[in-house]
A and B are shown apart, each in its own frame.
Chain A
Amino acid sequence: MAKDRQPVIALLGQPNSGKSTLFNNLTGSHQHVGNWPGKTVEKKEGEFTYNGRKWLVADLPGSYSLSANSEEEIITRDYIARGKADIVCILADASQLERSLYMLADFAGILVPAVLLLNMMDVAKTQGKEIDVKKLENKLKIPVLPFVAADKKEYTKLYPVLERQLKEKRMLDTNALEMEYKKMSGEDYEEVLSCMPEDGIEQYSPMWLAVKYMEEDRNIVDKLKMNSLKKELPIIQEGGLLTGESKFAWILELVKSTVIYKRKKNAVLGKFDRIATSPVLGKIMAVGVIFLGLMLSMILAMPLMLLGGSLPNIIGSPLAVFLSNIGVHEILISLVCDLGVNVISFATSMAGFVLGITFVFNLIEEIGYMARISFVFDGLMAKLGLQGKSIMAFFMGAGCTIGGAAGTRVIDNWGQRVLAIALVWAVPCGATWAVMPTLASMFFGSGAILVMISLIVFMFLFMWITARIFGNHLAPKEQRMGMIMEMPPYHKPRWGSLIRITLMHAWDIFLRALRVITIVTLVFWVLSFSPDGEASSSLIYKVGVAIEPVTKVFGLSWQTFIAFLMSALSKEAVLGVLNTLYMGGSTVFDATVSKGAAAEGFAATVTAAIPKAEALAFIFATTFNVPCVVALASTHRETHSLKWTLRIAAYYTVMALLLSCLVYHVGLFIF
């Protein structure tokens, strides 16, 4: 190391430790940026002057450790080991010392004077942490400075420390760490150490070399092979884990003896959290919260639902009178006042449900409880043959199956991914959540909530059946793994953001529903149109009558069967199809339902025309039918398997029809 040359400081720290902030504040505009010789990694150097002396600062590439795992790590340790720095300034994040001291532990044994900067002390203080800096300094035998790199005033404390260390050249004390190596690995470490060159290699001490050898660091193994070793190196089993354990034990001891936690955790929240994450009570609580959430979302949906339901009376009837008075053709009046107004009415009701659901579930997530729900159901996921993280895909699927399918990307195993997608299909999507309560309210009034709960219960059963059918093939038991989750803290919701998202979501679904239902309504209106006024002349009637003997097997009339088929295109389409077939004022409707009912409005007409057992069968069949054509495409994109996409689609269609048949016959007993 040159004595008379410009002193050099090397900044060493993990990414996000504040190294760049420190470099920029130290050097200001006196920086040079280039590349490390022969590498693509950026090299940053700069200068600062203190007490008339110019210092050179090298910002070493950010790395998590000093192993040879990446180009950055090799550059960093080579720079230090070749004695290019007079002082290595190691940055540790004081707010998470247990993690950030790992770099210091990995540095221990490199014979270069060092300074430990405890950065982000302000954050540590807000966390209620107090660090006994003197004690830490005594243990490490190097200068330790509490620091806030972002605060320029703090730098006046740093310069004298650097100047003093340049004179004193204090090295990090490795005795305690070496004791841990000896304790953890017993004779193995001693044996390896005894083979090391007495003076080490470059600035690497024999201890550091022995540790890296045990970690199978190829770069160091090569270096050792080029040196004359005292004896042949032994083969060490589990060496990497042993040295890791030793470093970890050393860090924990340091933290325990020097960090005091002043802020006590909230006892009530702690107790609540223990219940919320317990295997049995946690599940009960989660089910209760979801149930209450559904109730609350229904209440929130009520105003828009009522508005949607009364639109035909508020707008439809006066508009029909007005159009009739100005001489508009009867068919056109029917198209605008029956179909058109109903489309707006459905879209409004659907937006109401989505508004309620979005608000409630975003609120649960905002306060930090949603992660707990996902955690307590992890075991259930395992029973379905999935990794616990699949639960996220199901939550996304409750919004949209396309999102749910994409959400399975967190699953690394292909078979489990396909299985997760197959199960996500069973989760009613946002559109289903909007359409089914609308239909259930029409047919069953206040009993709609029971229908919705039955759908949710059956969803779990359906998922279990699906997992049993596909699970053994796609996700054998031995591929299942455990997990450890970091729970987000509980906190107050950000009301502004919550309300904004809820309103945007409701508006989005309103526009989407309006578009889909309008298109489907128009298509079916055209299909049911007959130029001669005879019902039997329309295309849809001919097809419907032809297939009815088959549809009856599943408990569905030909109208509801066509609506069921259309639900595989889009769930919103269901209302459009029913709207046209029952409310078109067309010959098809006249031919199939009594004329008097038409005047009563959609809800009255449809409930008069469709028996309750059939309606229940229809709701179940439609809910568990293929979610939509875009979900089908998305499944193909995510699985990269046409065979599995078609297999899943065929399975859902068949199961939905079987379910329809079953529910219809159960319904005949009830109603």
Chain B
Amino acid sequence: MVTLKIVLEALQEGKAFSTELLAQKIGETPEAVQSALYILEQMGKVNKVYMNLHCGGDCKGCISHCFGKDIKAVVRWELAVYGEKTAKEDLRDGKLNSGNQSNRQ
């Protein structure tokens, strides 16, 4: 069964996963992995980053500008970074509970 810790450890490995591949690896559904990520986001452990392939957000005059296309953003999740420390370091130091409050202030 997928646990939050498994998902955090997958991110800590430094590798790239898709929700489908990670779900396959741990014998779960992609929805369950997404849900774990979502809960970890609430806890301040991971960040959701929206990215698209067209526009850096400030591309006025850019040759590749999007002409108002409704841009489909790709969602990627990564360990939260707060200040100089990352959740990766917390995980390494065994201080996983410390992020819940202080990191979200």
Chain A residues close to B by CB (< 8 Å): 64-65, 67-69, 96, 98-99, 102, 214-218, 236-242, 244-245, 247-249, 251-252, 255, 273, 277, 365, 370-371, 374-375, 378-379, 382, 387-389, 392-393, 395-396, 398-400, 402-410, 412-413, 429-431, 480-488, 497, 500-501, 504-505, 508-509, 512, 630
A240–B31 touching, CB < 8 Å:
no
A482–B34 touching, CB < 8 Å:
no
A382–B76 touching, CB < 8 Å:
no
Residues of A within 8 A of B33 (CB): 484
B101–A248 touching, CB < 8 Å:
no
A371–B78 touching, CB < 8 Å:
no
A189: min CB distance to chain B, Å: 13
User: For window 11-30 of chain B, which residues contact chain A by CB distance below 8 Å?
Assistant: 11-22
A-B contacts, 19 of them at CB < 8 A, read A96-B31, A217-B101, A238-B96, A241-B97, A244-B42, A248-B39, A273-B20, A379-B16, A393-B56, A400-B63, A403-B63, A403-B64, A404-B56, A408-B56, A430-B64, A482-B10, A482-B13, A501-B66, A501-B67
Residues of A within 8 A of B98 (CB): 216
Closest to A219 in B: B101
A429, B63: Cα distance in complex, Å: 9
A318, B6: Cα distance in complex, Å: 74
Residues of B within 8 A of A249 (CB): 1, 3
A-B pairs with lowest CB-CB distance, top 10: A399-B64, A406-B56, A98-B35, A378-B16, A407-B56, A240-B100, A400-B63, A403-B62, A240-B97, A486-B75
What interface size band does chain B fall in?
A: 35 or more
Residues of B within 8 A of A218 (CB): 101
Closest to B16 in A: A378
A244, B74: Cα distance in complex, Å: 26
B4–A244 touching, CB < 8 Å:
yes
Of B54, B65, B81, the contact of A412 (CB 8 Å cutoff): B81
A270: min CB distance to chain B, Å: 9
B4–A485 touching, CB < 8 Å:
no
A636: min CB distance to chain B, Å: 14
Closest to B19 in A: A486
A248–B35 touching, CB < 8 Å:
yes
A214, B62: Cα distance in complex, Å: 50
B74–A371 touching, CB < 8 Å:
yes
B97–A484 touching, CB < 8 Å:
no
Residues of A within 8 A of B94 (CB): 237-238
Chain B residues close to A by CB (< 8 Å): 1-5, 7, 10-22, 31-40, 42-43, 45, 49, 51-59, 61-67, 69, 72, 74-79, 81, 86, 88, 94, 96-101, 104
Given A251-B35, A488-B72: A482 in contact with B78 (beta carbons within 8 A): yes
B34–A98 touching, CB < 8 Å:
yes
A290, B16: Cα distance in complex, Å: 21
A191, B2: Cα distance in complex, Å: 27
Q: Which of B21, B38, B86, B97 has the most CB of A within 10 A?
A: B97
B58–A482 touching, CB < 8 Å:
no
B64–A379 touching, CB < 8 Å:
no
B10–A484 touching, CB < 8 Å:
yes
A398, B99: Cα distance in complex, Å: 38
Of B21, B39, B69, B77, the contact of A497 (CB 8 Å cutoff): B69
A487–B18 touching, CB < 8 Å:
yes
Closest to B52 in A: A392
A501, B51: Cα distance in complex, Å: 20
Q: Which of A382, A400, A403, A404 has the most CB of B within 10 A?
A: A403
Q: Which of B45, B63, B78, B104 has the most CB of A within 10 A?
A: B63
B34: min CB distance to chain A, Å: 7
A310: min CB distance to chain B, Å: 26
Of A248, A389, A509, the contact of B49 (CB 8 Å cutoff): A389
A68, B52: Cα distance in complex, Å: 33
A487–B49 touching, CB < 8 Å:
no
B21: min CB distance to chain A, Å: 6
B101–A277 touching, CB < 8 Å:
no
Residues of A within 8 A of B16 (CB): 375, 378-379, 382, 388, 482-485
A408, B57: Cα distance in complex, Å: 10
B7–A399 touching, CB < 8 Å:
no
A236, B96: Cα distance in complex, Å: 11
A64, B66: Cα distance in complex, Å: 32
Beyond the given pairs A240-B97, A488-B72, 7 more chain A to chain B contacts, judged by CB atoms under 8 angstroms and listed by A's residue number, are: A240-B99, A399-B63, A403-B59, A481-B79, A484-B76, A487-B20, A630-B61
Residues of B within 8 A of A406 (CB): 56-59, 62
A65, B101: Cα distance in complex, Å: 13
Residues of B within 8 A of A255 (CB): 32
Residues of A within 8 A of B13 (CB): 482
A337, B5: Cα distance in complex, Å: 71
Of A98, A409, A481, A505, the contact of B57 (CB 8 Å cutoff): A409
Residues of B within 8 A of A431 (CB): 63
A69–B104 touching, CB < 8 Å:
yes
A11: min CB distance to chain B, Å: 20
A481–B14 touching, CB < 8 Å:
yes
Closest to A398 in B: B64
A389–B67 touching, CB < 8 Å:
no
Given A98-B34, A504-B67: A252 in contact with B4 (beta carbons within 8 A): no
Given A371-B74, A396-B54: A484 in contact with B37 (beta carbons within 8 A): yes
A487, B17: Cα distance in complex, Å: 10
Of A216, A396, A500, the contact of B97 (CB 8 Å cutoff): A216
A67, B104: Cα distance in complex, Å: 11
Residues of B within 8 A of A216 (CB): 97-98, 100-101
Given A99-B34, A236-B97, A388-B16: A484 in contact with B65 (beta carbons within 8 A): no
Of A217, A238, A395, the contact of B53 (CB 8 Å cutoff): A395
Of A214, A240, A403, the contact of B43 (CB 8 Å cutoff): A240
A240, B91: Cα distance in complex, Å: 13
A178, B60: Cα distance in complex, Å: 54
B39–A481 touching, CB < 8 Å:
no
B74–A486 touching, CB < 8 Å:
yes
A379, B45: Cα distance in complex, Å: 23
Given A244-B39, A488-B72, A505-B67: A483 in contact with B17 (beta carbons within 8 A): yes
Closest to A376 in B: B16
Q: Which of A241, A371, A509 has the most CB of B within 10 A?
A: A241
Residues of B within 8 A of A277 (CB): 18, 20-21
A487–B81 touching, CB < 8 Å:
no
B92: min CB distance to chain A, Å: 10
Q: Which of B2, B51, B96 has the most CB of A within 10 A?
A: B51
A403–B65 touching, CB < 8 Å:
yes
